[in-house]
Structure 1
C-alpha cells in the first residue's frame, strides 16, 4: 500500500472508529508499527490527528486562537450556556473559566442575578460589568492571549485563595479514554487549580469537542461532577461516557 493510500486509510479509521490503534493497523496492513507511527506523526504535524500512547485520536477543532474560536459552533455554545446557567444558584459563588463557551454563559446569566463570579478571564469580567447584582473577582497573572485568560504561577496562587459552590470549566477535548484535555500546559494547570476550589465542577463542551483530544490533560472523569453538551444523547462517545458514570446534561 502506498503512503498516500495508508494516509487515507488512517483518516478513514479515525472518522469511523474515533481512534487509531497502531498495533492493530500494522497487523491489518502487514506493515511495521514504526511505519504506522511515522504516518501518524505526519498527520499530527498537519493537525489532522492527536497522537496518544499506542495510536491517535481525532484532533479538537477548538485549539485555534480566541478570535477564530468565536465562529466555531456558536449555536451549540449558546445551547450549552443556557443549560449551564440553570446550575447557578442565587446567592452562590461561581468560578467561570475563560473561553468562548464560558463567555456565552456570562452573557446568558440573568442581569439581575445576585451572585459572586470569580474568573481569570478579562473578557468574562467585562461581559458582566452590566450585571449590578453580580460581585466580580478577577484573578490576575500572565495573560495567555490565545485564550484571553490569565495563567502561570501568580494566577494559580491567586486561585488557591478562593472557593466556590460551582466551577464551569471549558476544555478543547472530551474523550472517554483521554479524559478532558486542552492545548496548553499552563492553561491546563490553571483549569485544575480552579476546579480544585469548587464543590462541583461541570464541563462545558459543545458537540464538536466530543470524541476529540488535545495534547495536555486537564482532569480525569472522576474529578468532575458532570458534562454539559449539545451532542446527540445517542452519540457513541456520549453513551461511553455514561457507562463510565459521567452525568451528562443534554443542552437543547
Structure 2
C-alpha cells in the first residue's frame, strides 16, 4: 500500500532537454505500487510527447533505485502494470527517445526489470542488481527472464535468475551491463553525462537508430536490412544529414534544428 505522505511518489525535473524522473518512496526503497506506476507512466509519456525533451533519466530517491513490486500492495492491487506498457509503463512500451537508468543501492526484482528496459545504465560502484522472484514463488516476467540472458553470459544470467543471488555493479560493469560506473552518490551525475553525449547528436538520427535496433532484434542479416532500409534511407536526405556533414568538413560542432 502507499505510504502516507504529502510528497509526490514520482518527481520530475527538466534541464537542458533532459527529463529526470525520480522514484520517490524512499521509506520502502521506492517499491512500485499502482500510484507510482501510473506516475512513472505519465512522466514517460511527457518525455515522449514534449518536443523540447530528448532524453530521460530514471533514478530513485533515498540512496536506492527500486526494490521492485510493493509486495504489501500486491494482494490488493496486483502487478502494477499500466495498460499494455508493462511494469510502471516502461518494461513493454515502445519509445522513440532514450532513457538512462541512474542506479544507487538496490535495483531488485521489478526494479532491475526497469533498469533492463532502459537504453543505458549508470551505476554507483556500491549498487547491486538482483532478480529474486523465484525465492518468493514468482517469476521475473516483465523483462528479467527475457532481457538478462541477452545482456550477460548465459550461465551468469541463469545463476542470477535461478538462485536469486545479487550481482554487484562492479561485476555488472565488467560484463558490459553498466555503461558508466561511478562513485557512491554519483550515478545521477554519470547519467547526466551520458545524456549530454547523446544530446550532442542529431535527435532524429538518435530516434531512428533506436528504432532500427528494436525492429531488427533477432533477425538474420538479410531480414534485418530489409526492415532497416526503409527507415534509414530517408535520413540521408534530411537537413540534419546535410548539416552534420557540412559541420564535419568545416571542423565545427553541428547545429541541429530537428
- Into which bin does the TM-score normalised by the smaller protein fall? under 0.3
- Specify which structure has the higher proportion of strand: 1
TM-score (norm 1): 0.27
